Amino acid sequence: MEIIKDINNAIEYIEDNLGSNISIDEIAKVAFTSRYHFQRMFHALTGVTLTEYIRNRRLTLAGEELSSKDVKIIDVAAKYGYESPDAFTKAFQRLHGSTPSMIKKGNTRLKSFPKLSFQISIKGECEINYRIVKQDEFKFFGVDFLTTLIDNALYKEIPEFCDKIWEDGTHLKINEFLGYSKMNMLYGIHYDFKEDGSRKYMMGWKVPDKDIPNEYKMVNIPSCTWAVFDGRGDNLNTLAIADLWRLIYSEWFPSSGFEQIEGPCIEKYFWDDDQYINYSCELWIPVKRK
């Protein structure tokens, strides 16, 4: 598949430039996609952010050089983009569990973060139901927190956040303000994406035609085209939703004529029965045609 070839070309570009400044814009250009889309595709396919991958590859090569060559720590630090030996030492120790000076003394183990090579088969084992929707600008309000893709922390932290606002009464308070049943399921919104893998996650609702209390935050959702994916089934849960996100990036995007554009992503939840047991969801991702 052509997109896999393009991603592998981007990996080669990274590898050729680990000892110099690496432009994420240039990486994306090599992969014939946007910077924004490439970073999200990369994480979905690898489980690490693009900046994590570059950092870990540099520290892997730095460890190899320090253990096998007569080089100065300060020179290796500068070569791989660290402005000070202290910053280099901290990053190096986080990955390898040892300081650069310990490595130079010998008899210390190193960790290796190998170069990636993509060989992906689009199997189509799971049916992906989606529709394309155009929607005008609107605003969203609610409560949020900061989470991260690093170590896939968001898949643990988001359910914990949702449980917290249910237990402390925030979920009920928002529904009372809206005039909805206490069992109304609020929507989730991923926004303010950063290149270090961090993002904000908000639980809330579309802004109604009345003043919003100051205790809540508001996010503007621009007018755009959305790819809307159905997450339905008897066993739908937090893990299944996470799998659907991965499936979208590993199978739908590589085989579609769309790429993700900058902007919030929305998770909409719905009860499927009157017993409030089974629920379904929709994942809304802003897209454009390639």
Which range marks the domain in which residue 150 is found?
130-289
- 49 occurs within a structural domain: yes
* Domain match, 67 and 190 both: no
pLDDT above 70 coverage of the chain, percent = 91
* Domain match, 154 and 222 both: yes
* Domain match, 8 and 151 both: no
Contacts of 112 by beta carbon, 8 Å cutoff, 6+ apart:
60, 63
pLDDT at 277: 67
Distance between CA 100 and CA 104 in Å, rounded?
Answer: 6
* Domain match, 96 and 217 both: no
Q: What average pLDDT score do residues 142-170 get? A: 93
Q: What average pLDDT score do residues 65-92 get? A: 89
* Domain match, 44 and 188 both: no
* Domain match, 52 and 10 both: yes
Q: Which residue is it, tokens 């595709």?
A: 41
pLDDT at 1: 56
pLDDT: which is higher, 237 or 57: 57
* Domain match, 195 and 282 both: yes
- 212 occurs within a structural domain: yes
Does residue 234 register a pLDDT over 70?
A: no
Does residue 144 register a pLDDT over 90?
A: yes
Among residues 46, 72, 105, which one ends one of the domains? Answer: 105
Distance between CA 110 and CA 95 in Å, rounded?
Answer: 9
* Domain match, 72 and 142 both: no
- 254 occurs within a structural domain: yes
* Domain match, 94 and 151 both: no
Worst-scoring range by mean pLDDT, 87-96, 115-124, 147-156, 200-209?
115-124
Distance between CA 287 and CA 290 in Å, rounded?
Answer: 9
If phi over 0 gives left and psi between -120 and 50 gives alpha, with beta otherwise, what is residue 184? beta
* Domain match, 153 and 257 both: yes
Confidence of residue 220 (pLDDT cuts 50, 70, 90): very high
Distance between CA 277 and CA 286 in Å, rounded?
Answer: 30
pLDDT at 250: 79
- 255 occurs within a structural domain: yes
CATH number of the domain that residue 175 is part of: 3.20.80.10
Does residue 236 register a pLDDT over 70?
A: no
CATH number of the domain that residue 93 is part of: 1.10.10.60
Does residue 251 register a pLDDT over 60?
A: yes
pLDDT at 5: 81
Q: What angle separates helix 2-16 from helix 50-68, to the nearest 10 degrees? A: 40
* Domain match, 80 and 45 both: yes
pLDDT above 90 coverage of the chain, percent = 50
Q: How many distinct structural domains can be found in the chain?
A: 2
- 113 occurs within a structural domain: no
pLDDT at 122: 47
- 164 occurs within a structural domain: yes
* Domain match, 142 and 38 both: no
- 187 occurs within a structural domain: yes
Among residues 90, 105, 120, which one ends one of the domains? Answer: 105
- 117 occurs within a structural domain: no
Q: What average pLDDT score do residues 108-133 get? A: 72
Q: What average pLDDT score do residues 98-119 get? A: 80
